[in-house]
Amino acid sequence: MYSKEELLEGLKTTVVGRKLFLFDSIDSTNACAKTLAEADMEEGAVVFADFQTEGRGRLGRSWLSEPGNNLLFSCIFRPSLSKERAGLMTFFAAVSAAKAIETMTHQIVECKWPNDLLLGGKKCCGILLENSFTQDGMTHSVVGIGVNVNQEKFEQSLQTKATSLKQVARKKIDRKELFQAMLYELETQYGNVVKGNFDFILNEWNRRCTMFGKTANVVREGGTITGKALELSPDGGLVLETATGTEIVYAGDVTVLT
């Protein structure tokens, strides 16, 4: 396990990660960051853990990660965003993480809607955003990032779906360097969020997305919807051309068919 001093040494950010909470083991870094955010913890604060006993995934699932081999952290942001534009935070987080992974592996990362990152067609990074609002807009956004860094074995059910940076890059990845690269990209891209400049972020996301023009199944609450994936809607939904017309989905699990 790293010490706080080690993780901060050489860090190039001015705000993100400067306030750092470190745990050998925790229930969930997102849960912890959310509690801190609700107690007015400052923007940029990061919760880092070596292991999670109740790691949270999207759609109520859990996030499993071997102790000591991966990256698990959550960061608090406080952008002035309306509820309508809050979904765009997903793309900010995905693009930041993708860039950091590319720096470390020299491989192109694929973005899968809404916020999975893939290497060689398999998931290497999951992102969970937990946003809070008042009537005036967003109060905070907790960005939780889990990366399979040096893990080499995945449980049976994940073997065809999951990979790690080490498996793809064929070399051990320095977790501290990756963490610092992630914080640097989050801080850099957050500059665009603050300026309301999501165009750059969405362009970066779109050019890493390979599903447009293909038929996709989206499993969501209330059933499965099938259609040709056309583009992102301005608020971050997935626009599908279905047999009965155009539909926009905002949550769900995507499988690309053709």
Write down the least CB distance from residue 145 to ligand BTN, Å: 6
Write down the least CB distance from residue 25 to ligand BTN, Å: 13
Q: Is 161 in the site for ligand BTN (CB under 6 A)?
A: no
Q: Is 55 in the site for ligand BTN (CB under 6 A)?
A: yes
Residue 110's H or E segment, with its range, is: strand 110-112
Q: How far apart are CA 137 and CA 85, in angstroms?
A: 10
Q: Is 167 in the site for ligand BTN (CB under 6 A)?
A: no
3-state secondary structure 18-61: CCEEEECCECCHHHHHHHHHHCCCCCCCEEEECCECCCECHHHC
Q: Is 79 in the site for ligand BTN (CB under 6 A)?
A: no
Q: How far apart are CA 2 and CA 99, in angstroms?
A: 23
Q: Is 57 in the site for ligand BTN (CB under 6 A)?
A: yes
Q: Is 74 in the site for ligand BTN (CB under 6 A)?
A: yes
Tokens for 41, please give them: 């913890």
Residue 133: exposure state from Cβ atoms within 10 A (0-12, 13-18, ≥19):
middle
- Which one of 61, 161, 172, 207 is in contact with ligand BTN (CB under 6 A)? 61
Judged by CB under 6 A, the stretch of 11-19, 102-110, 121-129, 225-233 that binds ligand BTN is 121-129
Write down the least CB distance from residue 61 to ligand BTN, Å: 6
Nearer to ligand BTN, 124 or 201 (CB): 124
Judged by CB under 6 A, the stretch of 72-80, 92-100, 148-156, 209-217 that binds ligand BTN is 72-80
Q: How far apart are CA 245 and CA 241, in angstroms?
A: 6
Nearest residue to ligand BTN on Cβ basis: 126
